[in-house]
Amino acid sequence: MTAKPVSWTTDPVERLARKNAFDASLTVGTAKFNRDTGRENLRPPFSQFIDPATGLIRADMLRPRNCPICGAAPGPGLFVKDGFRHVRCLECDLIYVSLILREDLMIQHWREEMAWTMVLKSQPQAELDRLKYDYGLDLASERLASRRLLDVGAGTGDFARRATERGWEATALELNVESTNALARQGYKVIVKPLEMADLADGTFDLVSLWEVLEHVAEPKTTLAETRRVLADDGLALILVPNSASLVTRLLHEKSNTFGGHSHLNHFNPKSLTLLLESLRFEIVELETVITELGSVNNHLHFQDPYLGEAPAFFPDLTPEVIHRNLWGSRLLALVRPGAKPGPRRGARPEANAAADLPESAEPEAAEGQDAEPRLARPRPGGRRKKS
């Protein structure tokens, strides 16, 4: 097994250099990367089902939902994109799609989807992903003694493959037919079910990875609760999600490619992600941003196409270091561990008390509550370590 790195996680200069190495804006160039990976050819897959009278996807294809973090009724509408209404929760600041595809349509889409799979398979994407995956594995490896991995939303299997090369025992969970068949042919243990239906034993894994998964699921709280259950007591979860508080998203608003209501249902920022994690009693070990998308920022400020322009820097002082120090990067990366479970209440049965560990969502007709301001955990690079 490769020797575990020690110094880079606490060296801000080397840590930034490692992040910059898998940032396409800085290494390949925004326009070239989007063309070479096939992103410029992606099209909204459900636009033919938009009702001209409402501007939304046909009502018979949709289901309503409240905020998936706190259960509050949908807040003010922000915009409609590709037939999906995006709203902001006034309680926890989550931006989310309030009318999402029916579950059967969503599962069918993920089983049959190929356009994004081809992007992931492209050589430029795979090369940068390998560096990104090494970054995540290094963060987790120096804190873990065992190497049992569950990769949720494994996609093309590149992360599970890289982890296996580095000595991990990897299990892949994925719904896409093309991807699961390929993983099975390569000899990986594959679970073709949503995590909450996989019937895994408690404490089975040392690391659960969710690379850009939580934005896709209708009930991220359920997914994370199941993640917590299957983790060993000293295990870790590695989470990557788009950052709605990123500079590029703040500038582009609905023009940002991160907004696609058929698949990106939840848009977290540091506040809402922290609130979600802490509501499930996860302890945040690391919370940072990666991937600047400075190319798109510069293009927009120069009135060029954000994703296909080739503009120079608009603000020379707007550097990757500034972007990440302010948590303005386009992705949030969190490394978390299960926190201590509360002891049984006096006079309560342990099994009854365990059911109370997770907060319940409000009913759909719930009245507005007070705006809660959660504590934002921002550990220094290197994070908190276990006491010896």
pLDDT, tens digit, for every residue of 300-326? Answer: 999 999 999 999 999 999 999 999 999
pLDDT, tens digit, for every residue of 161-208? Answer: 999 999 999 999 999 999 999 999 989 999 999 999 999 999 999 999
Q: Is residue 377 part of a domain?
A: no
Structural domain total, the chain: 1
Question: Do residues 246 and 332 lie in contact, with contact meaning Cβ atoms separated by under 8 Å?
Answer: no
Structural domain for 280, as ranges: 8-342
Place of tokens 């037919």: 177
Gap between the Cα atoms of 280 and 288, Å rounded: 20
Task: Supply φ then ψ for residue 358, to 5 degrees.
Answer: -100, 130
Give yes or no for residue 381 having a pLDDT over 90: no
pLDDT, tens digit, for every residue of 62-114? Answer: 999 999 999 999 988 999 999 999 999 999 999 999 999 999 999 999 999 88
Mean pLDDT, residues 220-228 taken together: 97
Q: Is residue 348 part of a domain?
A: no
Burial of 279 (C-beta count, 10 Å sphere; 0-12/13-18/19+): middle
Q: Is residue 2 part of a domain?
A: no
Q: 243-257, 315-329, 347-361: which range is least confident on average?
A: 347-361
* Residue whose C-alpha is closest to residue 98's, from 127, 128, 73, 61: 73
DSSP run (H or E) holding 331: strand 331-338
DSSP track, 162-181: HHHHTT-EEEEE---HHHHH
Q: Is residue 279 part of a domain?
A: yes
CA 242 to chain centre: 6
Q: Chain-wide mean pLDDT for the chain? A: 87
Give yes or no for residue 367 having a pLDDT over 80: no
Neighbours of 85 (CB within 10 A): 21
Query: Model confidence at 376, in pLDDT bands (50, 70, 90)?
Result: very low
Q: What is the pLDDT of residue 281?
A: 96
pLDDT, tens digit, for every residue of 144-157? Answer: 999 999 999 999 99
Q: Is residue 364 part of a domain?
A: no
Answer left, alpha or beta for residue 211, where phi above 0 means left and psi between -120 and 50 means alpha: beta
pTM of the predicted structure, to 2 decimals = 0.85
Give yes or no for residue 343 having a pLDDT over 70: no
Coil, helix or strand at residue 56: coil
Of 3 and 76, more confident: 76
DSSP track, 252-302: HGGGSTT--TTT--EEB-HHHHHHHHHHTTEEEEEEEEE---HHHHHHHHT
Q: 9-13, 159-163, 217-221, 316-320: which range is least confident on average?
A: 9-13
Q: What is the pLDDT of residue 7?
A: 55
Give yes or no for residue 16 having a pLDDT over 90: yes
Question: Do residues 230 and 199 lie in contact, with contact meaning Cβ atoms separated by under 8 Å?
Answer: no
Give yes or no for residue 58 having a pLDDT over 50: yes
Gap between the Cα atoms of 58 and 219, Å rounded: 22
Q: Is the dihedral of CA 30, 31, 35, 41 positive or negative?
A: positive
Task: Supply φ then ψ for residue 282, to 5 degrees.
Answer: -90, 145
End-to-end CA distance of the chain: 24
Q: Is the dihedral of CA 269, 270, 272, 274 positive or negative?
A: positive
Supply 59's token pair: 């009502």
DSSP track, 180-192: HHHHHHTT-EEE-
Q: 176-180, 208-212, 238-242, 353-357: which range is least confident on average?
A: 353-357
* Residue whose C-alpha is closest to residue 337's, from 277, 268, 381: 277
Q: Is residue 373 part of a domain?
A: no
CATH of the domain at 267: 3.40.50.150
Coil, helix or strand at residue 334: strand
Q: Is residue 359 part of a domain?
A: no
Q: Is residue 362 part of a domain?
A: no
Gap between the Cα atoms of 200 and 204, Å rounded: 7
Highest mean pLDDT (candidates 259-263, 283-287, 373-377): 283-287
Give yes or no for residue 365 having a pLDDT over 80: no
